[in-house]
Amino acid sequence: MAITTNYKELKLCKHGLPTWDAMLPVVLLVAGEHAEPIKRSTIKDEAIKKMELPKSLQQLKSDRGESIIYSRIGWPISELAVSGLLERPKRGLYQITNLGKQLLFEKGNKLTSEFIRQQPQYIQHQKELVQKGNNEIVESANIANDDADSNPLQLVDSVVKKYNDSVSIELLERIRKGSPYFFEKLVVELLSNMGYKGENGHAMVTQKSNDKGIDGIINQDALGTSTVYLQAKKYQVGNNVQRNEMQAFFGALSGYGSDRGVFITTSDFSDGAVEYAKNQHIVLINGLQLSDLMLQYQVGVNVKKQYTTFDIDEDFFIEDD
């Protein structure tokens, strides 16, 4: 299907720029023209060129001094990645997926935001956002919008939490695409950062073969008198850990003469697995908890920006009689 890319023929909004959803097929087309993954900035530059956007529109700035078109193209890139039409094989790089190629061919300029948000990966992404409490975020954001002067920090907190939750879910998606051994190393590093290793302890990933049902071992002191054993299962969404796997882990713990274990998965646990783990004092961490902990203890992420807010120090203004 022929795809229109000239900005004049796309849906336009304020300033005469294309709307972000009108640029969805343009962004996909740019990504599809490259056999290798490309940078986000490359997609933006080539999309602007493909739309034949004049310099006057390219140079438009927001109130914060940012390029409006650069910011706007960021939205379709992000939405396409969330929907599974683009993928991120490496940090900062994007590549069109088979689904992206198929939908670009079938839909062309009729590829809308409504359509890509019907894709299973996008629906799962939204479901996980709701599980993280973003249904409450929408409500609090609406309250803040109605009365922004009386409670501006509530809006800021809501926006920051929603952004971090999106990063958390993207992080989980990246982990699910990695190898099982990478996941095992990740969970050992996470629990070490959480303080399980102790000051003089030692953490290790067991051998890839013949691990006897244990993926990681953390000695909490130099002598190894207090040890935590780990099981890590890299499962896709819907493939939950079952009771029999929990029983097998408990058996592996017994083989090491231990009753202390942490079971971590990228999916979730069945009710039977949860019940069994509770009775055997096994700590469970599912995918959503895992990605939240990774943000909290800064594993696999960087701090992008921090904000400081102020209020009046009322004691400072108390004058002596």
Asked if the structure places residue 149 within a domain, the reply is: no
Asked if the structure places residue 127 within a domain, the reply is: no
Asked if the structure places residue 23 within a domain, the reply is: yes
Lowest mean pLDDT across 148-152, 164-168, 304-308: 148-152
**Within this chain, do residues 108 and 184 fall inside the same structural domain, yes or no?**
no
Residue 296 above 60 pLDDT? yes
DSSP assignment of 153-211, as one string?
HHHHHHHHHHHHHHHHHHHHHHHHHS-HHHHHHHHHHHHHHTTTT-SS-EEEEPPSS--
**Within this chain, do residues 111 and 2 fall inside the same structural domain, yes or no?**
yes
| CA gap 73, 23 in Å, rounded | 7
- Domain at 270, CATH number: 3.40.1350.10
Asked if the structure places residue 21 within a domain, the reply is: yes
**Within this chain, do residues 109 and 10 fall inside the same structural domain, yes or no?**
yes
* Count of domains forming the chain: 2
Asked if the structure places residue 315 within a domain, the reply is: no
Over residues 164-187, the pLDDT tens digits come to 888 888 888 889 888 989 999 999
Residue 77 above 90 pLDDT? yes
- Domain at 87, CATH number: 1.10.10.10
Residue 142 above 80 pLDDT? no
- For residue 242, what pLDDT is reported? 96
- For residue 130, what pLDDT is reported? 80
**Within this chain, do residues 1 and 114 fall inside the same structural domain, yes or no?**
yes
Asked if the structure places residue 20 within a domain, the reply is: yes
In this predicted model, which residue has the larger pLDDT, 142 or 207?
Answer: 207
- Mean pLDDT score across all residues of the chain: 85
- For residue 152, what pLDDT is reported? 65
Its domain, for residue 205, covers 180-285
Asked if the structure places residue 172 within a domain, the reply is: no
Lowest mean pLDDT across 202-211, 253-262, 277-286: 202-211
If you average pLDDT over residues 125-145, what whole number do you get?
57
In this predicted model, which residue has the larger pLDDT, 223 or 84?
Answer: 84
Asked if the structure places residue 25 within a domain, the reply is: yes
**Within this chain, do residues 189 and 266 fall inside the same structural domain, yes or no?**
yes
**Within this chain, do residues 114 and 187 fall inside the same structural domain, yes or no?**
no
